[in-house]
Amino acid sequence: MLNASILTWLTFLPVAGALVVLLLPRRGRAAEGFTLLLTLAFFLLALHLPAHFNYHQQQGFQYELNVPWISSPAIHYHVGVDGLSMWLVVLVSFLAPLGVLISWRAIEDRKREFYALLLLQQTAMYGVFISLDLILYYAFWELSIVPLALLIGMYGRNDGRRAAIKFFLYAFIPSALLLVGMLWLYGQTGTFDLVQLQQQMHGWSTGPHAAGLWLTSLAFLLAFAVKVPVFPLHGWLRDGISEAPTAVAMILAGKLGLYSLLRWHVGLFPTEAAHVAPLMVALGATGVLYGALMALVQTDLKRLAAYATLSAVSFIVLGIYAFTAASMDGAAYQILNESISASAFFMLLGILYERYGTYDMGQLGGIATKMPGLAVLFVITTLSLIGLPSLNVFVGEFLILSGSFQTHPRIAGTATVGVILSASYMLWMVQRVFYGKPSTSVAALSPADVNWRERAAVWPTIALMIAMGVASVFWMHAIDLSVPGMAPNKVSLGAAVTPTSAYATLNPTRGMTR
């Protein structure tokens, strides 16, 4: 019974919780305490999904619920998850209580609104990941923009409103195109249902609908690419991240857009996606290097984190559009890893900011002697982000790059330079913030080291960095069931596996560009 309704419960309980939060007393810790309990409960509920997931089911969705909602136009309440979206739902549930914990002291004004908006955002994200009907999906997609913009605008550190407007416009205008595309699709097929659309649109790429299909696929692509963001559509990212409070920065970039690319661009328009793939692969690699080089010359920690995020999500874009099983599995896995490690990074930056009141590396320095506990957490997170083997990010990065290398050797090889650059800017950052003698502004203060609440927020992410680095199979199993199937004309590694065919590709240039 629970199996059919669990996704619905998960999705709508947070918004109900948000309403309750607004009614709670303004004083004391009621809002954050209640939200924390709620989010923990949601997390436990979400664990039901992997626990009862059928890991042998190759095709289709699980925990599915499909009921007619509006008969005309035909809109269904159709939800369900596959191996990819299941883990994304768990991820959202996992990060939510951490976001509450880390906001505990950072947010003092308008607390009820803050936590209510966080919960609303949680509903929107669940909705995006589980919707299998385009209209339903679109409703959640639009909904996901609003709380984020409000949170940035209301709780930004300097000029939140400006960053919020920028984010909103960036996200909103392409979404209007998305809507037009959706309606065109409905006009042609009479359905909004993902599965039915896929069946009906089979073979359209060469038929009379080809042109319309192209435009529609581009509208979809643009809407998602802005949200990821894909270089050069990242104009909102730097200000968005540097203004956003920690709990918002943790969920701002990456997963919603990346998931949508996989499910609603690659999944719905495989042929068109294959045509733009070379462009997307090139943009991915460019974003990797561009973000890394920009991160190298930042002096503000939040801005550095923003460009590091651009670099990290660009790896995933590269992996998705390289269309090999390994690169797509790696990309899907990396959505999880990027979220977890970047969240840890943002939380640690927030902890630092609460103590020293600045993100400016010029004013920081020598903090390791003052806060050894924070330094340890910071270094581990750094190592995860720069892809140290045996930690999580490496697994995704390796699969993305080795997979992409099979179809786009030169571009993947170029993107691999990113591993040198990421080590450079991250370790330089660690050095400037933590090593050396304490700077004057650091020496002037003697704040307490990381406290229990903060440890409780950061340690779970660190535990996952290690677990997902050494036992990737646990998560990958479900992902591998679902993701490679989304790829059009997937290039199989198996082609070169036998030594004889390896010899057939002996000519290195031929073998590489195969």
Partner 1 sequence: MIPSLYLWLLPLFPLAGFAINGTMGRRLPKTAVSFIGLLFPAAAFAQVLWIVARVHQGLTLPYTESFATPWIAVTDFHANFSFLLDQLTLVMLLVVTGVGLMIHLYSVGYMGEEEGYWRFFSYMNLFLFFMLTLVLAANFLLLFVGWEGVGLVSYLLIGFYYTKDSAANAGKKAFIVNRIGDFGFLLAMFLIIAHFGTLSFNQVFSSITSHPEMQGGFLTAIALFLLLGATGKSAQIPLYVWLPDAMEGPTPVSALIHAATMVTAGVYMLARTHVLFGRSPLALTVVAVIGAATAFFAATIGILQTDIKRVLAYSTISQLGYMFLACGVAAYSMGIFHLVTHAFFKALLFLAAGSVIHALGGEQDMRNMGGLRKKLPVTFWTMTAAVFAISGLFPFAGFFSKDAILAADFITPHDGKILWAVGLITAGLTSFYMFRLWYMTFFGSPRYQESSAVREGHGSHGGRDVHESPWVMLLPLVILGILSLAGGWIGWPEALGGSNWIAHFLDPVFASAGTAAATPPTTADIQLDRILAGVSMLTALLGWFLADLMYRRRPQLADAAERSAKPLYTMVLNKYWVDEIYASVIVGPILAVSKTLLGRGIESGVIDGTNNAWTRIGSGLSSWVRRMQSGNIRSYAGWLAAGAAAVLIVVLYLAHLY
Task: Find the binding residues for partner 1 in span 258-317 (CB under 8 A).
Answer: 290, 293-294, 296-297
Sequence letter at residue 171: A
Site string for partner 1, 324-363 (x = CB under 8 A): xxx--xx---------------------------------
Site string for partner 1, 59-98 (x = CB under 8 A): -------------xx-------------------------
The reply to whether 57 sits near partner 1 by the rule CB under 8 A is no
Based on CB atoms, which residue is closest to partner 1, 102 or 487? 487
CA distance readout (Å), 189 to 185, 216, 246, 335, 487: 6, 13, 43, 32, 23
Which range touches partner 1 (CB under 8 A), out of 4-12, 92-100, 257-265, 432-440?
432-440
The reply to whether 212 sits near partner 1 by the rule CB under 8 A is no
Which range touches partner 1 (CB under 8 A), out of 59-67, 210-218, 414-422, 446-454?
414-422
Based on CB atoms, which residue is closest to partner 1, 47 or 502? 502
The reply to whether 209 sits near partner 1 by the rule CB under 8 A is no
**Other residues' Cβ atoms within 10 Å of the Cβ of residue 436:** 14
Output the smallest distance, CB 466 to partner 1, in A.
11
Q: Evaluate whether 227 touches 150 at the Cβ level (below 8 Å).
A: no
Site string for partner 1, 361-390 (x = CB under 8 A): -----x-xx-------------x----xxx
Based on CB atoms, which residue is closest to partner 1, 63 or 434? 434
Q: Evaluate whether 386 touches 426 at the Cβ level (below 8 Å).
A: yes
Which range touches partner 1 (CB under 8 A), out of 194-202, 266-274, 345-353, 505-513?
505-513
> Distance (Å, rounded) from C-alpha 163 to C-alpha 166?
5
Residue with tokens 């595309």: 181
What is the bridge-based pairing of β-strands 75-81 and 62-70? antiparallel
Output the smallest distance, CB 2 to partner 1, in A.
30
Based on CB atoms, which residue is closest to partner 1, 10 or 380? 380
Instruction: Retrieve residue 198's tokens.
Output: 């896929």
The reply to whether 431 sits near partner 1 by the rule CB under 8 A is yes
Site for partner 1 in 181-200 (CB under 8 A): 183, 186-187
Based on CB atoms, which residue is closest to partner 1, 232 or 357? 232
Based on the number of CB atoms within 10 Å of its own CB, is 60 exposed (0-12), middle (13-18) or buried (19 or more)? Answer: exposed
**Which of 437, 445, 456, 489 lies at the binding interface for partner 1 (CB under 8 A)?**
437
Based on CB atoms, which residue is closest to partner 1, 103 or 482? 482
Based on CB atoms, which residue is closest to partner 1, 189 or 358? 189
Size of the site for partner 1 (CB under 8 A): 92
Site for partner 1 in 476-495 (CB under 8 A): 476-477, 480, 484, 492-494
The reply to whether 23 sits near partner 1 by the rule CB under 8 A is no
CA nearest neighbour of 180 among 141, 209, 215, 137: 215
Could you write out the three-class secondary structure of 125-189? HHHHHHECEHHHHHHHHHHHHHHHHHHHHHHCCCCHHHHHHHHHHHHHHHHHHHHHHHHHHHHHH
Beta-carbon contacts of residue 473 (< 8 Å; ≥ 6 apart): none
Residues in the chain: 514
Sequence letter at residue 286: T
The reply to whether 436 sits near partner 1 by the rule CB under 8 A is yes
**Sign of the alpha-carbon dihedral angle for 102, 153, 342, 432:** negative
Beta-carbon contacts of residue 477 (< 8 Å; ≥ 6 apart): 55, 83
Site string for partner 1, 126-165 (x = CB under 8 A): ----------------x---x--xx--xx------xx-xx
The reply to whether 402 sits near partner 1 by the rule CB under 8 A is yes
The reply to whether 20 sits near partner 1 by the rule CB under 8 A is no
* Alpha helices per DSSP H over 210-324: 210-227, 237-243, 246-252, 255-260, 270-296, 301-322
Residue with tokens 């719905």: 268
